[in-house]
Amino acid sequence: MKEIILAAGCFWGTQAYFDRTTGIVKTEVGYANGNKDSITYQEVCKGNTNFVEVCKVIFDESKITFEKLLEDFFSIINPTLLNRQGNDIGTQYRTGIYYNGDDKSFFEEKVISKISQLEEKLSKKVYTEFLPLQKYVKAEEYHQKYLDKNPNGYCHIDITKAK
């Protein structure tokens, strides 16, 4: 099993999408790489904590490759937008890929190559961050599996495209 932390704007849709993707073992939403040891959603929304909404994704490499997971991730975001996805605007909605320090060598070449390919294909800068995970705080329980609990909740991600 491997773990990667993905920021695709709204963490509700990110979780719902990957929960429906073959090879994903577990997901959890939270906040990453901010400047406090603990945080609430209300504090993140103020935009001054540097936290980003993320989805922790644990995947089974025998059922989904990291390359396929990257393809899926980039299919649900617009990586050329800075600090926004869909109607969600602010630093907490930036896109990113965050790894645990020991896993850098596994992810680095694949992510850098994919971002380079995208920049060439789109002829635009890709703003998706690729950084080590410095801090992670699990989101409040009401955010976990939010779109399953609230099927009419808003998110820019089309979860019906998950396979």
Give catalytic residue positions.
10
Residues near 42 by Cβ (< 8 Å), separated by ≥ 6?
none
Do the strands 136-138 and 52-59 form a parallel or antiparallel pair, or are they unpaired? unpaired
Q: Do 96 and 54 touch, CB atoms closer than 8 A?
A: yes
Residues 6+ apart with CB under 8 A from 31: 39, 44, 49, 51, 52, 53, 54, 92, 136, 137, 139
Q: Kindly report the CA angle at 31 between 28 and 32, in degrees rounded to 5?
A: 110
